[in-house]
Structure formats: structure tokens, C-alpha cells
Amino acid sequence: PLDLVVPAGQLLSIVGPSGSGKSTLLGLIAGLDTPSTGEIAIDGTEITKLDEDRLAELRGNKIGFVFQFFHLMPSLTALENVLVPLEIAGAANPMVTVRRLLAEVGLTTRAHHYPAQLSGGEQQRVAIARALANEPPILLADEPTGNLDSANGLHINDLLVGFNRSRGTTVVLVTHDAELAARTD
């Protein structure tokens, strides 16, 4: 059994051997997986009792998710990949937000490139910008540096820690990166 409380604004790392359930735990927190027993509450809302529409709404409003393998849409540019969640949410002036986020992750000059034209580190930065597009209070990251070289991994580490420190975003990440784990609360 696991009893875990993550206070708002915390930067938490989940570490452990392969197969120990780290990614499954993140999927449960995100409402992507359903627990066989127990409860999961996000900001006081018991998510295991929500129907799929309400769960999708909660994820859209409260949770950003960064995957190890980026999951960018290959037929969309970096800018368009970040724009999608804003368009789905019906955000006002979404291009202002997209351009600001791409600037924050250092990709202003790569905005019109497709994922296949971007390095792994650049793709992960697009994925982070997309995850933060709707300004969720919670960011979940599953091995965000797992497929990157050490220089790009360090850049992603700096971004995640920076977003936590500057915005107060609660960040829960699964990592094998000892350096990143050492920087978390």
C-alpha cells in the first residue's frame, strides 16, 4: 500500500528500479490508469469516481504530462503542437501564450520546424511547453531525460526545476537521473 501526499508547489522525484511501478504511479495520479483499490484525490477531488468527461476536464485544467518519448504530433510544427491544447480549451489569444512558452524553452527560432527536424532535446522542450500551455498547477513527467544525452538532459532538468521555482508548479517526476533527483524536494 502507498499513502502519498504531495503538497502544492513541491518538486518531487520518484526513483526506483525498473519494473517497480514508478510510471504506473504517475499514470494513476494523472487518471490515465484506474487503481484496483484505494483512492486518488487531486486538489480535493476524488478522481477515481469521475466519469471520463469529468476526468478529461480535470486533466485539461490541472495536469500537464511530459512523456519520455515526447508524443508530439509529427504532422504539426513545434508551434502547432503547443497550440493544440490551447485551441481545445478555447483560450483567448493562444498565439501569445505559445510564443511566450516557446521563448521560455529556448525554441523561438525553431517554432516552424516539424518534430523530425528537431533534436531529441528540442522535441522534449516542445513537449514541456505543450504540457504547460494551459498553465496547469501540476506537471507530471515520466523519465523526461531518459532518451537524451547528458547536455540536453541537464537543460531539461534546469527547465523543470525552473518552472517549479518560478511558477510554483507542483512537479512530480519519475527519473533514473540521480542529478535531477538530487535537485528535488
For 33-85, the pLDDT digits (tens) are 888 888 888 888 888 888 888 888 888 788 888 877 778 999 999 999 999 88
Does the pLDDT of residue 181 top 90, yes or no? no
Q: Report the percentage of the chain scoring pLDDT > 70.
A: 98
Instruction: Write down the pLDDT at residue 143.
Output: 86
Instruction: Write down the pLDDT at residue 1.
Output: 67
3-state secondary structure 27-89: HHHHCCCCCCCCCCEECCEEHHHCCHHHHHHHHHHHEEEECCCCCCCCCCCHHHHHHHHHHHH
- Tell me which of 35-44, 45-54, 113-122, 144-153 is least confident: 144-153
More confident residue, 28 or 147: 28
In whole angstroms, what is the distance from residue 121 CA to residue 127 CA?
10
